[in-house]
Amino acid sequence: MVAAIPLPAPSRKDEVSVPFRTVILSMVALWAVYFVLISARGSFLGLDIQFELFWRRSIVCAFAILITMVLWFILRLFEARKRWVLFVVALIAALPGALAIAQVNQVLFAPLNERLEQRFAEERGFTLRRDESGNLLAEIAAPREWQWQNSEEFDADNPPTVTLVLQDAKEAGATWYSLIDAGLSRYYILLLWSALYIALLAIAQARVAERREQEFRSAAKAAELRSLRYQVNPHFLFNTLNSLSALVMTGKADRAERMIQTISRFYRHSLADEPTSDVQLKDEFDLQKLYLDIEAVRFPERLTCDFDLPEDLEDARVPGMILQPLVENSVKYAVSPVSRKVTISVKAREEFDRLVITVADDGPGIPEGAAHGFGIGLANVRDRLEARFGPDVGFSSAPVASGYKTEIRIPLTRQAPRYG
């Protein structure tokens, strides 16, 4: 019975979001650039009140970061929605935030603007004031060239003044116009940050999707390897039980007992490892020796074995029980049908950083009518190798002049990767 392979369950690390640290850094960096550019413009214009401008800009930028954080909280509520929904939310939510930043900017800079206006007026010989109605007035001294009806009343040392209305208090729309004008630039900055955040979110979503895809691929590969591995065990058990039954039926109790003990050792050895893990080549060879010891109880006069494993390849890694179907085919189709002695050889060698394993016998080859069962074992081995190593596998199986030979060529590895 093949156990179900659970697929990776979603975990907290799969929740798609941009790290909080990245969010804060993006906000601070964006408004810091704004601060530097505005300050550079003030220095270029030659304003000599940089300190007063500095602390006011600092407060505005700190408030802007706070507004941007509020915008981020709003966008987080719609992270699971489609991308265009996020853009629409940003377009709507950024507008009041931009107006709030512009309002704070106007409140902080209004006294400074009045001082600058007064200084500008004094340097040019006129004064600015507001009357009781809130109108902004400019008082300009009348020039000497002006002609008066009564020229005797003209005092050159104390000329009369002319009052001009620069801003009518009744023009309420002027204040809103300046506020909206200032808010548009902040609105653009907030939208710029929103686009940056949505891009970062898209990157995070792509990374999570890629990780989940890799986990599902690993789970699927593990399921495939388990399925192929479990196909080996029932087939082998069926054959060994048939052989054991034959020994009991023919009264060969001592050989049946020896076979039971060897079967026990074989299964203890074969079930020690996780089905999808690789094993040392030495362990795989030992496992096949145990199997052939079991079969030797059935065929004491016909079966001989030849194992050749160089010492430097003992720690090479191969899928567990990968040689079992090949050795089993040799017993079934080379030893069982004949009455003469047959030698099964299992050998390993290294060629150009690749591990080459051969399983051969000097039997009659493939008996007629044996192709179906024979091919199932070979297909199992080939599928397991491809599931484990991908296309980087060499696999050939065919009759030779002295019997039958199967050759496996796989990358030479000495560590055991695991799947799932």
Beta bridge partners of 308: 347
Closest CA to 98 of 198, 222, 185: 185
* Residue numbers in the chain where pLDDT is lower than 70: 1-16, 42-51, 111-178, 215-236, 239, 267-276, 367-374, 415-420
Q: What pLDDT is stored for residue 420 in this prediction?
A: 45
Domain boundaries, the chain: 12-211, 252-411
Q: What is the DSSP letter of 75?
A: H
Q: What are the CA-CA distances from residue 93 to residues 3, 73, 119, 140, 387 (Å)? A: 52, 11, 39, 47, 51
Closest CA to 94 of 65, 73, 66, 68: 68
Closest CA to 74 of 39, 23, 148: 23
The CB-based long-range contact list for 282-289 (8 Å cut-off, 24+ gap) reads: 282/309, 282/314, 282/315, 284/318, 284/320, 284/321, 284/322, 284/323, 285/309, 285/323, 285/346, 285/348, 287/321, 287/323, 287/324, 288/323, 288/324, 288/327, 288/346
Is the overall model pTM greater than 0.75, yes or no? no
Q: Quote the mean pLDDT of the chain.
A: 76
pLDDT, tens digit, 9 for 90 and up, residues 62-93: 999 999 999 999 998 888 888 888 889 999 99
CA distance 321 to 306: 18
β 354-361/342-351 pair status: antiparallel
pLDDT, tens digit, 9 for 90 and up, residues 31-47: 998 888 887 776 665 55
Half-sphere exposure of residue 413, counting CA atoms within 13 Å on the CB side? Answer: 14
Q: What pLDDT is stored for residue 223 in this prediction?
A: 57
Sign of CA dihedral 59, 63, 69, 75: negative
**CA Rg, the chain, in Å?**
44
Q: What pLDDT is stored for residue 411 in this prediction?
A: 92
SS3 percent helix, strand, coil of the chain, rounded to 5, is: 60, 15, 25
CB atoms within 10 A of CB 210: 10
Closest CA to 203 of 18, 389, 5, 7: 18
Q: What pLDDT is stored for residue 384 in this prediction?
A: 80
Burial class (CB in 10 A: 0-12, 13-18, 19+), 250: exposed
Kindly state the tokens that stand for 255: 């050989």
Q: What pLDDT is stored for residue 57 in this prediction?
A: 84
Q: What pLDDT is stored for residue 320 in this prediction?
A: 80
Question: Would you call 262 helix, strand, or coil by DSSP?
Answer: helix
Question: Options 1.10.599.10, 3.30.565.10, 3.20.20.150, 2.60.40.1180; which CATH number does 252-411 get?
Answer: 3.30.565.10
